[in-house]
Amino acid sequence: MAVLRYLSHPQVAIDPNMPVPDWPLSDQGRARIAALADAPWLAATSAVVSSAEVKARETAAMIAAILGLPPRSDPALNEIDRSSTGYVPHDRHEALADAFFADPQDSAEGWERASDVQRRGMTAIRRHVADHGDGDLLIIGHGGIGTMCWCALSGDDPRRRPDQPAGGGAVWAASLPDLAPIHAWQPMERVASAVRR
């Protein structure tokens, strides 16, 4: 059974003076990715695709180098468009995220609507799955859009916040090519024990 795995980027270097899509991985995030070099769940990966945001592309480049693969990027996999607010402190961000998930048809202070994020993400995922050959497919993205796509596949209610673990660097998985859910978000360090091939 081939598997689609969706990985959210791990920790980033937060800079309030820089657009959020331009934030790079932090030292901690890079160290977590480097530690995946021998992760069994990566072994059958034959393609790596990421969002076009810096933190996702950096994650993809590191993993693709481990696997000897050329990474690709796709802006349709980018995170929620939050440019209406830009950077906000953590507590305010969490309140806006709660509002984002609570009503997928409504915009939280100008943020891209959850329903639109889900449609955009699933269209991109299905396109990459249709173009994929043999082996496992790894898509690297973000917590918000990743959660909305997981909800589309699993039927989970986004209002219940089936979100990634704190700090990111989490994986959900679905079978290929039918996209039947295998497991919800798991820390990337524990994925091998969560997937049954």
Question: For the whole model, what pTM was predicted?
Answer: 0.95
Task: Give yes or no for residue 7 having a pLDDT over 80.
Answer: yes
Q: Which residues pair with 4 in a beta bridge?
A: 137, 174
User: Which residues contact residue 38 at a Cβ distance below 8 angstroms, ignoring those fewer than 6 apart?
Assistant: none
Segments forming the whole domain that contains residue 183: 2-194
Q: What is the pLDDT of residue 196?
A: 46
* pLDDT classification of 180: cutoffs 50, 70, 90: very high
CATH number at residue 114: 3.40.50.1240
* pLDDT classification of 171: cutoffs 50, 70, 90: very high
Q: Which residues pair with 20 in a beta bridge?
A: none
Task: Give yes or no for residue 95 having a pLDDT over 60.
Answer: yes
Task: Give yes or no for residue 195 having a pLDDT over 90.
Answer: no
Q: How many angstroms separate the CA atoms of 170 and 168, rounded?
A: 5
Write a three-state SS string for the chain: CEEEEEEECCCECCCCCCCHHHCCECHHHHHHHHCCCCCHHHCCEEEEEECCCHHHHHHHHHHHHHHCCCCEECHHHCCCCCCCCCCCCHHHHHHHHHHHHHCCCCCCCCCCCHHHHHHHHHHHHHHHHHHCCCCEEEEEECHHHHHHHHHHHHCCCHHHCCCCCCCCCEEEEEEECCCCEEEEEEEHHHHHHHCCC
Domain count, the chain: 1
36: left (phi over 0), alpha (psi -120 to 50) or beta: alpha
Task: Give yes or no for residue 163 having a pLDDT over 90.
Answer: no
Task: Give yes or no for residue 52 having a pLDDT over 50.
Answer: yes
Instruction: Count the neighbouring beta carbons within 10 Å of the beta carbon of residue 162.
Output: 17
Q: What is the pLDDT of residue 61?
A: 98
Looking at residues 123-140, what average pLDDT do you find? 97
Q: φ, ψ for residue 95 (rounded to 5)? A: -65, -40
Q: How many angstroms separate the CA atoms of 73 and 139, rounded?
A: 9
User: Which residues contact residue 90 at a Cβ distance below 8 angstroms, ignoring those fewer than 6 apart?
Assistant: none
Q: Write out the two tokens for 27.
A: 């030292």
Q: How many angstroms separate the CA atoms of 141 and 105, rounded?
A: 22
Q: What is the pLDDT of residue 194?
A: 55
